[in-house]
Each structure stands twice: as C-alpha cells, then as structure tokens.
Chain A
Amino acid sequence: MPMMNGEQRTWLHGCISVLLGLCLLWTMTASQPIKYAALDVVNTVLYYPEKPFMELRMLLKFSSNWVLERASLNERVSQLELENRLLSEALQKASVKVPPQKAFYVPALVTLRYPEEWWQELRINKGLKDGVREGAAVTSEGSLIGRVVRLGDHYAWVELITSSSFLLAAAVDETRDLGVINGDGMGNLRLLYIPPEKVLKHGMNISTSLINDHIPPGLKIGTIIGEDELKDGYIPRRVRSNAHMTQLYNVEVFSAAAGGENR
C-alpha cells in the first residue's frame, strides 16, 4: 500500500476529527450525566485562573450600577420594612408568638449562562459549602427565577422557570386558585391546570404555594397577561415573570435552616 501524501493525510485528519466531534456531540447530548461530569471537570479546573477576571468584571459592573441599584434597593428595603412592621403588628394583635428566623437568602452571582440553553439553566458561584441545597428556590429582586438542580462545593446549576421541564405548584394571590407554573423553553410562562370555569383576570399575581422547605410559599412569580385556548380540559394562562429574565446577574438562593429536609 503506497504511503499517503501530505494532502491525503490532511484530509484524513480533518475527516476523523470532524466525525469524532460529531460523535462526541451526539454522545454527550444523549448521555447527560457524562456531559455534566465533563463540564464540571473543565469548569473546576478553570475556576482558579478565571477567578481574577471574574472578580474584576464584578467590580466594574458593581461600580457602574452602584447608584442605580442603591436607589432601587433602598426603595425595596423601605417597602419590606413597612410590610414587616405591619405583619409584626398583626401577629402581636393576634397574640401569635413569632418563631425565630430559620431561613435566609444566600446572595450569588451568575457565572455562566449558555446561549444554547438561555431559557433552561444558568450557573451561580455558590454551592454546598455556602449553604445551598438541591431544590432551593432562586430569586432575583424578590421574584422566583428558578430552583437549584445540581450543585458542587462552590457552584450550583439553576433550572430556570422558563425551562420546558420546570413544573412548580403556584397560587393566584387574589383567588387562591392552585395551578402549576411551566415554561416553554422559549422564554414564556404558563399557568396550567386551572379549571376553565375559574375567572382569572389580567394583572392577577401568581406566587409559590407551600411545596417544601426549600421553596417558601408566597414568593412572587409573575402576573397573568392572557390566556390560551382550551386544552385537555383547562385553559393555560400566559404569565409574565416579575423578574428580568434576560438580565440575571445577581441572584439570591433561599436557604432553609440547617438540617431542613423535604417534606
């Protein structure tokens, strides 16, 4: 068999590498555990060399947004203080003993959001060692944006509410009707399984209902903005998220008291 010349070798290397790349793509798409194991290895290795640049980026971003954020945060703090005082007064009047605070929010930064998985998931820089637990609610400015689905010591992956696989029990604040919030993978939200005879108006608020220790009830999700056609015996309601789902940089992870388990 004659030896291959340089051009034939180049063809051979090119074809084999492209085929290998496509095989890897197919394999990793078919086998999510392998893909995530490989992703985590690479992300863990690159964590330390990238850290200074990540910090610098955050520093610049915080500097540029400081004035705007401060104004909006002050407004929010005032609003929450007022709500807190009213609730305390109501509890005192009802002679209900206020239990000690058992939950808190862990502030986190978004470190990765794939364009290919824009509405599906993102990664944050807090993990197990920071008190984050699987299933925990993740919020942005007080509104639910997703829940933790996988985590390592110093990072966690968050499934967004806009993901097509996201299903979460939710309640309509004004009527207390219960349904399920579901994304479509394209940035839209629907409230499912509300019977068609229930009258829900545009502008009604949706929030989480009591699910488990990791997702508190009453967390804002969004507002009803319309309805679809009758499907399988119910009318899916279109919901607009209260959070800016395209501008997620700083988020908070709900953390129940240590030792809290799913109910």
Chain B
Amino acid sequence: MIALVVVWLLQDFFQVFTMGILIAPNVFLMSVIFMALKPRGEFENFGVFIWAAFLGGLVWDLRWTNLPGLTAAVNSAMTAAACIIWRKMPVQGRSVALFTIMTSVSMVVSGLVHFLFWTMPSQAALRQLAVQQLTGVPVIAVISLIFWRVSDRHV
C-alpha cells in the first residue's frame, strides 16, 4: 500500500509540474490494477484494492477535479471490473495482453468520464484529452513490461 501512496504522490507532483500544459494520466489507477492482478499464487481479497482505488480517487478529486467522488467511483468501478474479469478468466487467458487491454481501457474510460464534465472550449478539451491519453501510452507499456517480468518470474 505504501507503493500506491508513493505512486499517487508522484502523479500529484507530475500534475503540479505540468498544470496548465497537460492533464496527468491516471497512473494511480493503473498501479492499483497492477497490484491487484499481479501473480501471487492465490487470489487475495480484491476489496482492499477496490477501496484503495476509491480513496486515491477521492483525494485526487479533492485536489484536482472539483467533483469529489467522480474519480473515486470511476477508479473503484474499473478496479472491480478488472478483478472480476481476471478472476473469471481461465488461467491460460490471464496474460500480459489481457492486463494491457484492461489498463488501456481503464485509462480511456477514466479520461472520457472526466472529459464529459469539462467546461473548457471543446477543441482545447479534446487536445487535452488526446495529450493525456498519449502520455498514458508509455506508462501502460512500462507497467505491462513490469507485469510481464513479474509473471515470468512467478511461472
């Protein structure tokens, strides 16, 4: 959990640094999904991760979005969906590809939900959304690579 706090703070510092230029991708959500799904031999209680996603999202809302509860709801919904899909998937299907797809979908959905609430001019908002999604791509690549390394080590 300390790792998640560190990731949250890093995302916050990145947002402070790039405020007015771009909106930080939801790295915290991707990290929660990573922590929840990384192989450990048996399933833990996913509830801890769902609530961690919720709390991280709530504090993010209070700091950056002015819509307290929105990111919290989106984060916990995406984490819960990822955990349920992962659990339902046969062992052979729990691959890095599935993990990458789920983190990508989480990032896109998280960005789109916020986009619907923005009041800035539509062109600027679209540009911000596109930049946010593009900056998320290397994050997904890195986190998928780490997931692959962890999975490989675990096999």
Contact = CB atoms under 8 A, between A and B. Distances in A.
A116 interface: yes
A57 B20 CA distance: 11
Given A10-B47, A53-B17, A120-B119, A46 B63 contact: yes
Given A6-B87, A187-B121, A114 B65 contact: yes
B110 interface: no
B45 A21 contact: no
Interface string B52-90: 011001110011111111101110110111011001100
Given A9-B47, A25-B70, A114-B65, A57 B84 contact: no
Interface size grouping (class) on chain B = 35 or more
A115 B45 contact: no
Contacts of A14: 50, 76-77, 79-81, 83-84
Contacts of A113: 19-20
A252 to B, nearest CB: 18
A243 to B, nearest CB: 15
Interface size grouping (class) on chain A = 35 or more
A118 B19 contact: no
B50 A39 contact: no
Contact of A54 (B16, B119, B124): B16
A13 interface: yes
A115 B73 contact: no
A25 B51 contact: no
A113 B146 CA distance: 34
Interface in B26-54: 43, 45-47, 50-51, 53-54
B62 A42 contact: yes
Interface string B113-127: 010011111001100
11 contacts: A6-B46, A13-B51, A14-B50, A14-B79, A14-B80, A14-B84, A17-B53, A22-B69, A25-B70, A53-B17, A185-B119
Given A9-B46, A17-B53, A21-B57, 6 more contacts: A18-B76, A20-B69, A21-B73, A113-B20, A114-B64, A114-B65
